[in-house]
Every structure is written in C-alpha cells, then in structure tokens.
Amino acid sequence: MAVSTDTTHLADLYSALGKELDRAKDEKTYKYEVPLDGHQGGVVTVGGKKVVMLASNNYLGLANHPAIVAAARKGLDEYGFGLASVRFICGTQPLHRELEEKIAGFLGTEDTILFTSCWAANEGFFNAMLGTDLGYRDYRDIIYSDQLNHASIIDGVRLARIAVKTTDARAYKHNNVTQLSSWLDEDREKNYRFKIIATDGVFSMEGDTAPLPELLEVAHKHNAMLFVDESHSTGVLGKTGRGTPEELGVHGKIDVISGTLGKALGGAAGGFVTGRRSVVDFLRQKCRPYTFSNTLPPFIASAALAAIDLLERDNSLVEKLHFNTAYFRKQIVSLGFKILEGVHPIVPVMLGEAPVAMDMSKELLELGVYVRGLWYPVVPKGEARLRVQISAAHSTEDLDRALDAFEKAGKKLNVI
C-alpha cells in the first residue's frame, strides 16, 4: 500500500513531534543507538572495531555463554518458538512451572509468577494487589516508594493511584529510613488497610543497595509489606548470587521480590514476582500484564533454568564478577577518578558537568571502551557521570585496557 502523500493530515502533530526531537538533539538529551556488529560480551564489535563493553547488564557474562545458548536451543527444539497465547488460556508448559519453582527455591520464597519483563511485573503488581476490596469496606491503602526507584515502579505506583482510587502514595528521600519511619508513624492514625514499602534492591544510577534490614524492621513494626526489585542484584550480589537480601543477611525474609531475566540471568528478556504462595496465586488471577499478555517464550524459560542451575552448582562466575568489580573499583580510584563507593558492578565515575561526561564517553569509544554517560535530567544537575558496569565476562586484560583508556582520556580532558 502506498504511503499517503497528503501533507495536511495531522501536519501539526507531526511538526510538533519533529520540533520536540530537534529540541532534544539541541539539548543533547536525544538518545542515539549504537549497533553492535555481533553478540553481547565482555568485548564487543562496533563498526568493525573491538571495544571493551562497560555498559551492559550482562553481569555474569551469560548473554552469550555456551551453556545458556545450548539451553535456549534445547528449549526451542523441545517446546517451539512461542505459545501464541496467555498463560491461563493455552500458554503454560512444564518448563514455565519448573522455572517458577526454581526461582522460588533460589530466592527463598514459596512461589513465583513469570512475566515477559520486569517492567510488566512492576507495572502490574501494585494495581493488582490493591485493586480489590477483599471484603473490606471504607478503606484506603498506601505505597511508600524510594525517590530513586526504577521507572517501572514509579509507573506501577502511578497506575495504582489512577486505577485504584483508594490508593495513596508517598515518595521518601533516597534510602532515608528515618523519613519513611516518621511518615509511617504520622500515617498511623489514618488506619490504612494495606501498606507497601517499595524499593529497588540496588539502584541503577548509583549502584548502591537499599538498607533492607532497616526497612524490614520498619515494615514489621508497622505491619507493612516490603517489596524489593532485585533486577540489578539477583545473580550479582551475595556470596552465591542470591542478591541484596543475601548480601545484607536477610535472605528469605523479604515479603515480595521482583526481578528480571534480562540482566544477570541470561540477558534476553523476562521478569518475575516471587513471594508467598497466596500473593503469587492472587497475581495469576488479577495481574493484568500476566492475564492479558503472552507467555514468556519457552526458549527463554529454558535458558533461565540453565542460568539458575549453573549458579546453584557453582558460584565461580559470581566470584569472578566480585573479583573484577573490586579490582576495577580499586584501580579507577588509584588513577584519581571519583566514584560512588560500594560493592556493586555498577561503578558511577563522577564527572560533574554533562559536557565532560559526553566528551569522556566519546574519547573512550575512540580508545576502544564502550561506556555510557548519564546527565541531567537522568541524574541531578552537576552529577553527570559515566556508568561503568563490570561483568564476569571481562578478563583482567580487558579491564586493564579499559583503565588505560580512562587514564588517557581523563588526562586529556583534565579530569584527573
């Protein structure tokens, strides 16, 4: 069919979109995509050139790991490409249930529900949990959310407030348990039916952890549910990769955990919510992105099963990731760069103003290092940074090559 040549139809709308895109380009907030020539890895090919990849969430290097690729192939051979359906109509295969039980076993919960992304999981969760009266009358619910939570939690909370008129929400200052606690005290007289405290386990721009033991204490004191998004932590933190709860000594104690299969656990796509059986079962009935959207493709479920199997059998990839992270963090500081301290493979290298971060990332790409800059409005003004992400797929030589490039670029731009 020929494309319409009528220039008047929707002309104002198209012109407004064009102006907005031009404005983003002028303000340097337009997002350009850089194609990788081949697969994801510790070293990738961009425009025919090998560069050290420091910008992916491929924490364990499973995105192109032979065991994971083989498991995906096996899933494809045994179960086909897709289900062409949602779970409850004709979209469940044994390996979906197997994966749900596997995730629950790994994270110390009772049961799990799969989604096609963690975005869908987070967006659906709050709406579903708070969207039914459950026999209560004249009630209100409240969600307390960390100000730096991921956009999918923010949108999930927004949706719940819009769709469920009985839901209130308050965003507490980042990791500020004192403020959260005082709000819960203050709100006591409002007699909320349900209270949910929602936090990322690891925050994606800062690489810092939520104070889970303190949040648990506050949650228990106020009979609130603690919801933790472990997207950047499962397979990453803790001695055996069981995430922030393991790292902070509260494994098995979090009420509800959401996570992704699109980062450490293979990197393709997929998400989950895991917790008490009653919560998971209830979500199967009420969570709209689960009920009205297609099943996770079987080859992804098969690969994710293999990823968790691998972690359960042997934690050498987790150890390698921890080793690489500690090595890079130490070396980059000794070069004179300022970073946000921590233990996570997200290492924010702080550069101050946006143009410096832009120039550094361009210079680094020239020198064979792929790293993305973040600046306002993604992070506060004056806190522009390069977000380095370390992987178990990096060899020490890869990291040394990257550090060498950082030193050269940093000196050239007078950053160090």
Binding mask 128-167 for ligand PLP (x = CB under 6 A): ----------------------x-x---------------
> What contacts 101, CB < 8 A, 6 or more positions away?
111, 112
Evaluate the CA torsion angle 135, 276, 148, 57 in order and state its sign.
negative
We find the least distance from the C-beta atom of residue 189 to ligand PLP, in angstroms, to be 33
- Of 184 and 257, the one with the shorter C-beta distance to ligand PLP is 257
* Interface stretch with ligand PLP, choices 17-25, 86-94, 111-119, 175-183 (CB under 6 A): 111-119
Asked whether 50 and 368 are in contact (CB, 8 A), the reply is yes
DSSP state letters, 134-168:
TT--S--EEEEEETT--HHHHHHHHHHHHH-TTEE
Whether 204 is catalytic: yes
* Closer of 296 and 360 to ligand PLP (Cβ): 296
Note whether 200 binds ligand PLP by CB under 6 A: yes
229 binds ligand PLP (CB under 6 A): yes
Distance CA 228, CA 200 (A): 5
Query: Using CB under 6 A, which of 232, 329, 387, 401 touches ligand PLP?
Result: 232
- Give the start-end residues of each E strand in 253-325: 256-260, 271-275
For the chain, how are helix, strand and coil distributed in percent, rounded to 5? 45, 15, 40
* 150 flagged as catalytic: no
- 56 lies in the binding site for ligand PLP (CB under 6 A): no
For every residue of 204-234, DSSP letters joined together read TTT-PBP-HHHHHHHHHHTT-EEEEE-TTTT
Nearer to ligand PLP, 154 or 356 (CB): 154
DSSP 238: S
* 262 forms part of the interface with ligand PLP (CB under 6 A): yes
Q: Choosing from 263, 322, 344, 394, which is the catalytic residue? A: 263
Residue 209 near ligand PLP by CB under 6 A: no
| Distance in angstroms (rounded) separating the CA atoms of residues 268 and 249 | 29
Q: Judged by CB, which is closer to ligand PLP: 118, or 392?
A: 118
Question: Quick one: 192 or 370, whose CB is closer to ligand PLP?
Answer: 370
Binding site for ligand PLP (CB under 6 A): 117-119, 122, 150, 152, 200, 204, 229, 231-232, 260, 262, 271
**Could you give the residue numbers annotated as active site?**
204, 232, 263
